[in-house]
Structure 1
Amino acid sequence: MNSPKELKRELRRSALERRDALDPCWRIEASLEMAEVAKTVIDIKPGGIVSGFWPMRSEVDVRPAMFALRENGARLCLPAILDKSTIVFRELVRGAALVDMGFGTAGPGEEAETLDPDIMLVPLAAFDARGHRIGYGAGFYDRAIARLTAAGHAPRLIGIAFDCQEVPEVPDEPHDVVIPEILTESGLRRFEPPL
């Protein structure tokens, strides 16, 4: 029998193959539509902090959604990789230079203010109908969310994906963080917390 890690690896691989097969022009249109949905369904108080991510490979381009939320008064931040296990969130300011963060992504440099997000737009490779997600395997977001929660700051978590990334069931592991909401091209889905 395959271990949860092996099952996740296979689910990740197949979900990413489906995502990679999407027409690039369609992905752009879907990302823009998702931004319109985000602007209307994600409430943000003026000055509230939203973390997004700079897209890599065939990910949803979440930048239009981030900028739509900025129009609604949000301060934006992006993850910055500090080492092989830690990310923090640095403020994204208009006109500020971005630096290479590895993994094909970019983020604000060390001079940017470190922020604790109120809302986290979370990248993922795959998800199921319970809100369980598979990331890219490094655990950066699981650890960052656990650190924020332990410090008394529990951000609203919204996964960002295309519908084709849904899988029948993600194997449960103790360190996994359930994502209660996922935004896809079909809209914002909310998952009931386990009893």
Structure 2
Amino acid sequence: MDPTIRERKATIRREALARRDAMAEDSRIEASLAVCDAVAAHVAASPAIVSGFLPIRSEIDIRPLMTAFADRGAQLCVPAIVEGELQFRQLLRGAALEPQGFGTFAPGAEAAVLDPELMLIPLAAFDGSGGRVGYGRGYYDRAIARLRQKGLDPVLVGVAFACQEVDAVPMDAHDVRLGMIATEAGIIRPSG
């Protein structure tokens, strides 16, 4: 990665996360519910396999949306970090979860590994053209690249709070743009 891009992304990440952290808890809850409703309404088809995530720190909480997809018949999975890469493990009600680092949890090694058709992706920051800043390790970019190498083309939906939007995200060659971004302010469908 270009060091200049890395530094710019680090600054964008730090500032956007500070804005997110500054949101009142009740505002985060209401905004999370609004995003869940908006995505459920905009994704009319029922994908067979949906990857989501369990929220950390002040991150958006999409568990109601994951439940809505499960109620439509989708299998759910969440990322587990295995040897420095994401593995999407099936999430079943009542299954034990293991710490993954970063304060998040995932099903254990006995869980089925799934290839998601729809990926709900957490964002540190984003722009209107589908650029995203994650937490700086490139996990999602590499996981999406591996899925595409298998001939799969998952629908990529970034989910975040509106306060995390920035004017422009610097992009490296390996960075993957999102097809849709959902915030409490509405749905963004990048054209580029």
What's the TM-score, normalizing by structure 2? 0.95
Given residue 54 of structure 1, which amino acid in structure 2 is its aligned partner?
Answer: L
Per-residue CA deviations over 1:40-86 (Å, capped at 9, x if unaligned) read 2113436x1000001001110011111111112211100010022x1
Secondary structure, aligned partner of 2:90: strand
Given residue 174 of structure 2, which amino acid in structure 1 is its aligned partner?
Answer: H
Q: Is the 8 A contact 1:99 1:106 kept in 2?
A: yes
Q: Which residue of 2 aligns with 1:76?
A: 76
Q: CA RMSD in A?
A: 1.2
Secondary structure, aligned partner of 1:114: coil
Q: Which residue of 2 aligns with 1:33?
A: 34
Q: Which residue of 1 aligns with 2:14?
A: 13
What percentage of residue pairs aligned between the two structures are identical?
A: 52
Relative to structure 1, is the Cα distance of residues 73 and 187 closer, same or farther in structure 2, using a 3 angstrom cutoff? Answer: farther
Q: Is the 8 A contact 1:50 1:121 kept in 2?
A: yes
Partners of 1:42 and 1:96 lie apart in 2 by 27
Corresponding position: 1:43 with 2:44: yes
Q: Is the 8 A contact 2:35 2:159 kept in 1?
A: no
Q: Which residue of 1 aligns with 2:137?
A: 138
Query: Structure 1: which 5+ runs fail to align?
Result: none
Partners of 2:22 and 2:98 lie apart in 1 by 29
Partners of 2:42 and 2:51 lie apart in 1 by 16
Given residue 78 of structure 2, which amino acid in structure 1 is its aligned partner?
Answer: L
Q: Is the 8 A contact 1:38 1:69 kept in 2?
A: no
* Farther-moved stretch of structure 1 (27-36 vs 133-142): 27-36
Runs of 4+ aligned residues of structure 1 deviating over 3 Å after TM superposition are none
Partners of 1:168 and 1:36 lie apart in 2 by 26
| Map 1:161-180 → 2, pairs under 5 A | 161-180=160-179
Q: Give 1:135 deviation, angstroms.
A: 0.7
Secondary structure, aligned partner of 1:28: helix
Corresponding position: 1:22 with 2:23: yes
Secondary structure, aligned partner of 1:66: helix
Given residue 111 of structure 2, which amino acid in structure 1 is its aligned partner?
Answer: A
Secondary structure, aligned partner of 2:11: helix
Query: Structure 2: which 5+ runs fail to align?
Result: none
Partners of 1:60 and 1:133 lie apart in 2 by 15
Corresponding position: 1:188 with 2:187: yes
Q: Is the 8 A contact 1:39 1:72 kept in 2?
A: no
Report the number of matched residues.
Answer: 190
Secondary structure, aligned partner of 1:3: helix
Partners of 1:113 and 1:44 lie apart in 2 by 24
